[in-house]
Structure 1
Amino acid sequence: MDDKAKPTDAAKRSDAAKRVRKHRDKMKAMGLKPVTLWVPDVHSPEFKAEIKRQCLLLKDDPHEQEILAELEHWFDPEGWK
């Protein structure tokens, strides 16, 4: 077998780690810092059930149309794709 075989998994990880470190250093130099943000799993059955529950609570609420109209008034689609 050739001595110039494919890089090992460890070498691949090392290259990836170097790229990540370079990117993080660049972002830090720009005055940014990494944060971890946890959000709900929108595909989970529990999340879907809770959304449905909340929507049913709002259904036919006397203020629903008033609130929707106000949201529409403030909505600015400029720049959204």
Structure 2
Amino acid sequence: MTPVAMRVRKRRDTLRKAGLRPVQIWVPDTRAPGFDAECQRQAGLVAKADAHDPSLASFLDAASGDLDGWEA
């Protein structure tokens, strides 16, 4: 085992002993062709849906008020 692999194993063992576990998360590749266009398409769909629901803005305002001070 290489010194780097030993350090990685030791670090992971320490984290596991602290009650953590590794999780692999896959996210969209922002460099992929068409990514920008897909973001714009989805944002357009959301904007269109928002325009058809006038109560959404007041709901979001009320919900965001609950976030004040959450990090304290």
Please report the RMSD computed on the Cα atoms of aligned residues, expressed in angstroms: 2.4
Report the structure number with the largest CA radius of gyration: 1
Write the distance in 2 (CA, Å) between the matches of 1:58 and 1:22: 46
Query: What amino acid maps onto 1:70 in structure 2?
Result: F
Count of residue pairs the alignment pairs up: 66
Name 1:24's counterpart in structure 2.
12
Write the distance in 2 (CA, Å) between the matches of 1:22 and 1:31: 15
Write the distance in 2 (CA, Å) between the matches of 1:45 and 1:21: 36
Write the distance in 2 (CA, Å) between the matches of 1:71 and 1:22: 45
From the superposition, tell whether residues 54 and 24 of structure 1 become closer, same or farther in structure 2 (CA, over 3 Å): same
Name 1:41's counterpart in structure 2.
29
Query: What amino acid maps onto 2:42 in structure 1?
Result: Q
Name 1:70's counterpart in structure 2.
59
From the superposition, tell whether residues 34 and 58 of structure 1 become closer, same or farther in structure 2 (CA, over 3 Å): closer
Write the distance in 2 (CA, Å) between the matches of 1:69 and 1:52: 25
From the superposition, tell whether residues 42 and 71 of structure 1 become closer, same or farther in structure 2 (CA, over 3 Å): farther
Question: Normalized against structure 2, the TM-score is what?
Answer: 0.65
5+ residue gaps in structure 2?
none
Question: Normalized against structure 1, the TM-score is what?
Answer: 0.60
Write the distance in 1 (CA, Å) between the matches of 2:14 and 2:5: 14
Percentage of identical aligned residues: 35
